[in-house]
Amino acid sequence: MAAINTRTSPKKESTIVDAGHSFTEENYLKTILKLSEQSEDAVSTNAIAFRLGTKAATVTDMIRKLSQKKLIHYKKYQGVRLTARGTKVAWAIVRRHRLWEVFLTEKLHFKWDEIHNIAEELEHINSEELVKRLDKFLGFPKFDPHGDPIPDSKGRLSRISRTTIKEMQIKQTAIMTGVIDHTSPFLRHLEMLKLTPGKEIKLLRMLDFDGSCIISINRGEETYISSLVASNILVSIRNEKV
Partner DNA sequence: ACTTAAATTTCGACTTGTCTAAACATTTTA
Partner DNA sequence: TAAAATGTTTAGACAAGTCGAAATTTAAGT
User: From residue 146, how far is each of 56, 94, 149, 182 by CA, in Å?
Assistant: 30, 13, 9, 8
Which positions from 111 to 150 touch a copy of itself by CB under 8 A, shown as an x/- string? Answer: ---x--xx--xx-xxxx-xx--xx--x-------------
Q: Say how far apart CA 158 and CA 71 lie, in whole Å.
A: 24
Residues binding DNA (CB under 7 A): 1-6, 8, 22-25, 44-47, 52-65, 74, 76-79
**H or E stretch at 96:** helix 84-102
Nearest residue (CB) to a copy of itself, 122 versus 195: 122
Of the candidate residues 9, 38, 39, 239, the single one contacting a copy of itself (CB under 8 A):
9
Q: In the complex with a copy of itself, which residue's Cβ is closer, 24 or 226?
A: 24
For residues 227 and 213, is the Cβ–Cβ distance under 8 A? yes
Q: What is the radius of gyration, based on Cα positions, of the chain? A: 20
Say which entry of DNA, a copy of itself, none residue 64 contacts (CB below 5 to 8 A, set by partner kind).
Answer: DNA
Cα–Cα dist 94/88, whole Å: 10
The count of residues interacting with a copy of itself (CB under 8 A) is: 34
Distance CA 176, CA 165 (A): 9
Chain positions contacting a copy of itself, by CB under 8 A: 1-11, 22-24, 27, 104, 107-110, 114, 117-118, 121-122, 124-127, 129-130, 133-134, 137
